[in-house]
Amino acid sequence: MTFELVVRNGTVVTSSATYQADVGVHDGKIAAVADELHGEREINAVGKYVIPGGVDIHVHMQMSLGDGVVSSDDFFTGTRAAAFGGTTTLIDFVEPEPQQSLLEGLAARRAEANPQVVIDYGLHMTLGPDEKDKLDQVQAAYDAGCGSFKLYMAYGFRLDDGQLLSALAAIKQVGGQPVIHCENWDVILTLIQRNLEAGRTAPHWHPRSRPAPLEAEAAGRAIDIASYVDAPLHIFHVSCAAVVERIRSARALGLPITGETCPQYLFLTQKAYDAPGLQGTLPICSPPLRPQADQDALWRALGQGDLQLITTDHCPFVLRDKARGLEDFSKIPGGVPSIEMRLAGAYQGVDRGYYSLNRWVDLCCSAPARLAGLSSKGDIAIGLDADLVVFDPERQVTLSTDFLHEQCDWTPYDGIELQGWPEVTISRGEVIVRDGEFQGEPGRGRFIARR
């Protein structure tokens, strides 16, 4: 067989094995994993890890919050930054307008993404309260490739417990995967109001209005409702030890519950909100950053198998938009950029002894692909898409806005030093980033229908 591309002499690392081999690519697929392969184009990976392309199943590109506030990475800049960071597949969201059917919402979001994406992508279908009359459309959304459905317990999309039960039952009925944002919205609204009335308007009060035990209460409630209707459930952006404990005990009972955490919770703490002026507004995200003890517990949970994936919840807002909340923390748009540093950030868990190389690949590539029904992604095996990353474990980088490619005028990771960085990113056999140079094209990415 002729190989268009061979990645030679690297150490192949998958979720289950580590070995020396060459990887041959034919027609965009992995066609051989063996010794002494040669091809039309060869990449020398000696001394490097060859891993499956990263899979980030939780991102928000060009997400509008209304009033002209939109997350600052569009589908081009966001997927390009993802590629620089070694991510070759991501999953964003459809949020249908009230007057739209689920399929109309899906078509509109695909039309936004398709001309821009440089890597492959999928979409979770959001089922908000306006969609309660659309539960009979869940099958159609599933058949159209939205294998997973987003549910909120907070914000305007918030479902009450009865709506949550109905939505989970409908998703279960079609064999879909529910994913959920867990926070106790009534408690949050009350605490925000109480704090603002008392003049406590600084970002310091953001985590104190969204307490960890109530994030855990919401997660526990969602798990109990899912278990009652016999549905699986994936808990988004776990920020604290208390939620880990809910997930751990549900899994100990054999329930199909999974959880993810994100770089912001692994690298930052709630102290960041005490920085003066605009600086303290920047890391506002929800759930909020927590104390150091929670951060330590999250790293341990990833190693012990109590959390299954690392995603980003990538949702950057520029300084000008963050500044809208200088006088009132509840008006600060929530979200931070993390898409580019996720894979290398997660590698620090190997470097620091929390988990193995194989577990790192599972957390960032294989487990997200399995959970999201991306059957051609997340592994190095013959017949799968040739989505590969050559990762240099010796390279040391210092993160900054200049170094990163996200379309955002700040990064929460400024000055953080990482051991290891992706050197080459390959998507369906095409080299799209090499040695810091982007070689992809907008629109080359494909929508992946998932089951």
DSSP state letter for 133: G
- As measured in angstroms, the least distance from the Cβ of 441 to Zn ion is 28
- As measured in angstroms, the least distance from the Cβ of 78 to Zn ion is 13
Q: Any contact of residue 286 with ligand DUC (CB under 6 A)?
A: yes
Determine the Cα–Cα distance for residues 329 and 414; give it in Å rounded to an integer: 22
User: What are residue 93's DSSP bridge partners?
Assistant: 124
Residue closer to ligand DUC (CB basis): 15 or 286: 286
Q: Any contact of residue 314 with ligand DUC (CB under 6 A)?
A: no
Residue closer to ligand DUC (CB basis): 152 or 391: 152
Task: Say if CB 121 and CB 115 are below 8 A apart.
Answer: no
Q: What are phi and psi of 416, to 5 degrees?
A: -75, 135
Buried b (16+ CB within 10 A) or exposed e, 167-181: bbbbbbeeebbbbbb
Task: Say if CB 122 and CB 378 are below 8 A apart.
Answer: no
Tokens of 112: 């936004």
Residue closer to ligand DUC (CB basis): 116 or 286: 286
Determine the Cα–Cα distance for residues 426 and 53; give it in Å rounded to an integer: 7
Q: What is the SS3 string spanning 150-195? A: EEECCCCCECCHHHHHHHHHHHHHHCCEEEEECCCHHHHHHHHHHH
Residue closer to ligand DUC (CB basis): 87 or 126: 126
Q: Any contact of residue 281 with ligand DUC (CB under 6 A)?
A: no
Angle at alpha carbon of residue 438, lines to 432 and 444, rounded to 5°: 45
Residue closer to Zn ion (CB basis): 181 or 246: 181
Residue closer to ligand DUC (CB basis): 117 or 182: 182
- As measured in angstroms, the least distance from the Cβ of 211 to ligand DUC is 16
- Residue 56: helix, strand or coil by DSSP? strand
- As measured in angstroms, the least distance from the Cβ of 333 to Zn ion is 12
Determine the Cα–Cα distance for residues 278 and 281; give it in Å rounded to an integer: 5
Q: Any contact of residue 335 with ligand DUC (CB under 6 A)?
A: yes
- As measured in angstroms, the least distance from the Cβ of 317 to ligand DUC is 9
Residue 285's binding partner among ligand DUC, Zn ion, none (Cβ under 5 to 8 angstroms by kind) is ligand DUC
Q: Any contact of residue 60 with ligand DUC (CB under 6 A)?
A: yes
Which listed residue (218, 315, 363, 408) binds ligand DUC by CB under 6 A?
A: 315
- As measured in angstroms, the least distance from the Cβ of 354 to ligand DUC is 25
Which listed residue (313, 340, 387, 423) binds ligand DUC by CB under 6 A?
A: 313
Q: Any contact of residue 334 with ligand DUC (CB under 6 A)?
A: yes
Number of residues in contact with ligand DUC, rule: CB under 6 A?
A: 8
Inter-axis angle of helices 212-228 and 241-252, nearest 10: 20
- As measured in angstroms, the least distance from the Cβ of 7 to Zn ion is 33
Q: Any contact of residue 411 with ligand DUC (CB under 6 A)?
A: no
Q: Any contact of residue 306 with ligand DUC (CB under 6 A)?
A: no
Q: How many helices (H) and strands (E) are present in the chain, helices listed first? A: 15, 19
Q: Any contact of residue 95 with ligand DUC (CB under 6 A)?
A: no
Task: Say if CB 24 and CB 1 are below 8 A apart.
Answer: yes
Task: Say if CB 182 and CB 195 are below 8 A apart.
Answer: no
Residue 54's binding partner among ligand DUC, Zn ion, none (Cβ under 5 to 8 angstroms by kind) is none
Which listed residue (21, 45, 182, 285) binds ligand DUC by CB under 6 A?
A: 285
Residue 177-196 contact track with ligand DUC, rule CB under 6 A, x = bound: ----x---------------
Residue closer to ligand DUC (CB basis): 87 or 338: 338
Task: Say if CB 52 and CB 30 are below 8 A apart.
Answer: no
Tell which residue, 346, 200, 351, 214, has the closest CA to residue 290.
214
Residues that bind Zn ion (CB under 5 A): 181, 313
Tell which residue, 302, 151, 335, 306, has the closest CA to residue 233.
151
- As measured in angstroms, the least distance from the Cβ of 198 to ligand DUC is 24
Residue closer to ligand DUC (CB basis): 24 or 335: 335
Place of tokens 């278990």: 227
Residue closer to Zn ion (CB basis): 24 or 334: 334
Residue closer to Zn ion (CB basis): 9 or 264: 264
Residue 334's binding partner among ligand DUC, Zn ion, none (Cβ under 5 to 8 angstroms by kind) is ligand DUC
Other CB atoms within a 10 A radius of the CB of residue 425 amount to: 30
The residue at minimum Cβ distance from Zn ion is 181
Binding interface with ligand DUC (CB under 6 A): 60, 181, 285-286, 313, 315, 334-335
